[in-house]
Amino acid sequence: MPFTSATFLFVFLPLTIILYYVFNFIGKIKLNNLLLILFSLVFYAVSGLRTLAYLLVFIFIMYLSGKILSTFRDDKTKKGILIIFLTFITLVLCYYKYITFILELFSKDIKEFSIVIPLGLSFIMFEGISYLVDSYKNGVKSGSLVDVMLFFTFFPKIASGPIVLWRDFYPQIYKRKVSVDLFFSGMNRIMIGLAKKSIIADSLGVVVQNINENVTLGIDSPTAFFGALCYFLQIYYDFSGYSDIAIGVSRIFGFEFKENFNSPYTSTSIGEFWRRWHISLGTWFREYIYIPLGGNRKHVYLNLFIVFLITGIWHGSTFNFVIWGISHGILIMLERASRNNKWYKKIPSGIKWIFTMVFVYLTWIIFMLPSLKQAIIYYKSMFGVYVGDIYFTFEYFVDEKVLIIVCAALVGAFVGKWKIVEIIRQWTQNTKWGLIFSQIIYIGLFILAVWFMMNSSYSPFLYFQF
């Protein structure tokens, strides 16, 4: 059930909120937890009853795993058991995400083989690893079956995150509160996320799709550059919009999750970009991959390379994602090696920002296209090396509406560090007229977003595929 559907916005979410607040008035948080589990299961069941059954089996296995880990006192035994369970999760993830790719390497004809990847598989598996490791290493209780079910099924985060660590989620299961401030803060966040997705991301997604469908037929250079720019903006507004909605919905129910984006397109280095982009994924890799490998203590460059190689592989099973991950890893290593040099420190921040954005912009193209062959054709088209006759030029794909949306999206993506933004934010939070003005803007964006949503075909969130 997508967040940007009328069923979710006007039926499922309002009903869940009303019942939740009625139960909250009664003062039984356990009832609220059961209610959230029930509605979360309904939410997930929309993707298929078979995948729901798989999810329930996985949750029960995780619950038993946590209980088994808490039973043993010997560290060596516990560590061995932990490794067994982590191996199980890894094998399940690899099977669903990479079995088709592996079979293609050894056989060209796999038409009879098909596999349905459960919704949110990667995010669920990563949270499973967090559950086991935190229960083993960080002294967090493994919780009851209800606790574990709520953690894994909680519907705002189940499809595309943000990835929530067990040690951050568990304390909120029975010690969270709702308030008027949290409710309206959550609603505002939902409206912002919906506007990002429906107005900007989906509009640009149509342009990207139309251009990509003509890549192998031949597109001119301006079209290729503009298509890459649209995707550069689409993927940010699509995923950050989803995160805004997920965080907003969670806030309404009293859960506080960490931010997943922090103006990544204002970064002056790739390292900074990854501290601002998909923050929950970066946090997970740092806690459960980078630090266990040795972190900053030993083999720093090798550890960084491994993390970004796995990051690329996690996003997809084609060579595009591997190359994308490796390219970011190499630049991260080069930045790490250069950051204390005088010549690097003397480079103006504006130059660093331009270089970072150009690198991100160009590497998103590998991420955007399904095959390396298409990516190479796209790069050639950008620089005037065309593969065929150009039947459709820039004017065919772009109109005034698209240009206005692109300009608005560029402003929104790059204003994060502007002082005027913080001044306006303080004004809307600390003054009556500022609060009224902001609510008018939010409601206006929501109405416009719903209008866009109703007048366009369904476009799933990009990160559903991961």
| pLDDT at residue 114 in the model | 66
Q: How far is CA 40 from CA 67, 144, 182, 465, in A?
A: 24, 18, 21, 20
Per the CB < 8 A criterion, the answer to whether 278 and 262 are in contact is: no
- Collapse the DSSP code of 208 into the 3-class scheme (helix H, G, I; strand E, B; otherwise coil) and give the result: helix
Q: How far is CA 282 from the centre of its chain?
A: 11
| pLDDT at residue 329 in the model | 94
Classify the phi-psi angles of 294: left when phi > 0, otherwise alpha if psi is within -120 to 50, otherwise beta: left
Lowest mean pLDDT of 113-117, 309-313, 347-351, name the range. Answer: 113-117
| pLDDT at residue 141 in the model | 86
When pLDDT is cut at 50, 70 and 90, the band that residue 107 belongs to is low
| pLDDT at residue 457 in the model | 64
| pLDDT at residue 339 in the model | 86
Q: What is the average pLDDT across 201-209?
A: 91
d(CA 277, CA 215): 28
Quick check: 362 pLDDT over 60? yes
d(CA 9, CA 11): 6
Instruction: Specify the DSSP element, H or E, that contains 29.
Output: helix 29-45
When pLDDT is cut at 50, 70 and 90, the band that residue 62 belongs to is very high
pTM greater than 0.85: yes
Per the CB < 8 A criterion, the answer to whether 249 and 156 are in contact is: yes
Quick check: 108 pLDDT over 60? no
Q: Which of 115, 51, 128, 137 has its CA nearest to residue 88?
A: 128
Q: What is the average pLDDT across 192-203?
A: 93
The verdict on whether 328 is a catalytic residue reads no
Quick check: 453 pLDDT over 90? no
pLDDT tens-digit map of 212-271 = 888 888 888 999 999 999 999 999 999 999 999 999 999 999 999 999 999 999 999 999
pLDDT tens-digit map of 366-393 = 999 988 888 999 998 888 887 777 877 8
pLDDT tens-digit map of 272-326 = 999 999 999 999 999 999 999 888 888 899 999 999 999 998 887 788 899 999 9
Q: What is the average pLDDT across 342-349?
A: 89
**Which residue is associated with the tokens 């084609």?**
318
Catalytic one of 278, 299, 315, 328: 315
Q: What is the average pLDDT across 153-161?
A: 90
Length of the chain: 466
d(CA 373, CA 116): 26
